[in-house]
Amino acid sequence: MTPLEQYGLLAAFVLSTIGLVAMLRLIARSLGGVRKEPGKDVPFSGGELAPKPVWVRYHVHYYGFALLFLAFDMEMAFMYPWAVVYQELGLEALADMAVFLGILFLGLLYGWSQGALRRQ
């Protein structure tokens, strides 16, 4: 298979997933509808209506981790091609990546020392 055909097949997988879900929904619909009852469609919030839109305040207290995550995630993009040619290049490749990872790891240690790895 050419790469284009492979991606076509993967797209077909997505389409058949959608088809499967649509089929399940149709079966469910054929078995009966939803009876209208007051308050049935309110999202659960402990017995009373939410006073305002629920998304107004949520403290994303893992923002420190998220910043570190961005740095490491970028680094992983470089590591895949490096991993493939690693055995050809040998010690040189190890040294290259050790410098790169070393600097990044120092960043992690610095963040740790400054309390970035704690619940904010």
- Sites of contact with other proteins (CB under 8 A): 1, 3, 6, 9-10, 13-14, 17-18, 20-21, 24-25, 27-29, 31-35, 40-45, 50, 53-55, 58, 60-62, 65-66, 68-69, 72-73, 76, 79-80, 83-88, 90-91, 94, 97-98, 101, 105, 108, 112, 117-119
Distances (CA, A) of 104 to 37, 39, 74, 100, 118: 57, 53, 11, 6, 19
| Shortest spacing between CB 44 and other proteins, in angstroms | 5
Count of other CB atoms within 10 angstroms of residue 9:
10
